[in-house]
């Protein structure tokens, strides 16, 4: 059985500019097909617009409000909202207030699978 506690995870900054604490991924568990992380973004900050060639992502908003742009469509998101980000879809998130969310990637997140314009 593998159990990881969020408070035991060290934060790092991803290539898109968000701060991540990996909960379960290839670096800390015998994960093969997905990853789970907590991401935070301070108010008025944005991730750099990017896409992933291989990974599909889910964002699940826990706290705050943001403006999610996905392939040119923009919507305001907040607590309880889940966003599907298909592989190869350009996306960015702008925090309207401090954001905290869960990010799930399948296959697991990799810096090498993040592409910018």
Q: pLDDT for 33-62, tens place per residue?
A: 999 999 999 999 999 999 999 999 999 999
Q: pLDDT for 56-96, tens place per residue?
A: 999 999 999 999 999 999 999 999 999 999 999 999 999 99
Alpha carbon 64 to chain centroid, angstroms: 15
Domains and CATH numbers, the chain: 14-105 (2.60.120.10)
End-to-end CA distance of the chain: 41
Give me the helices (H) in the chain, please.
Answer: none
């Amino acid at each position: 059985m593998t159990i990881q506690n969020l408070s035991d995870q060290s934060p790092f900054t991803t290539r898109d500019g968000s701060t991540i604490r990996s909960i379960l991924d290839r670096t800390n568990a015998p994960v093969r097909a997905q990853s789970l992380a907590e991401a935070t973004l301070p108010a008025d900050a944005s991730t750099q617009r990017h896409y992933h060639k291989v990974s599909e992502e889910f964002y699940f908003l826990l706290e705050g409000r943001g403006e999610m742009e996905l392939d040119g469509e923009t919507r305001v998101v907040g607590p309880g909202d889940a966003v599907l980000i298909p592989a190869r879809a350009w996306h960015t998130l702008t925090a309207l207030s401090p954001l905290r969310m869960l990010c799930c990637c399948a296959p697991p997140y990799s810096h090498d699978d993040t592409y910018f314009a």
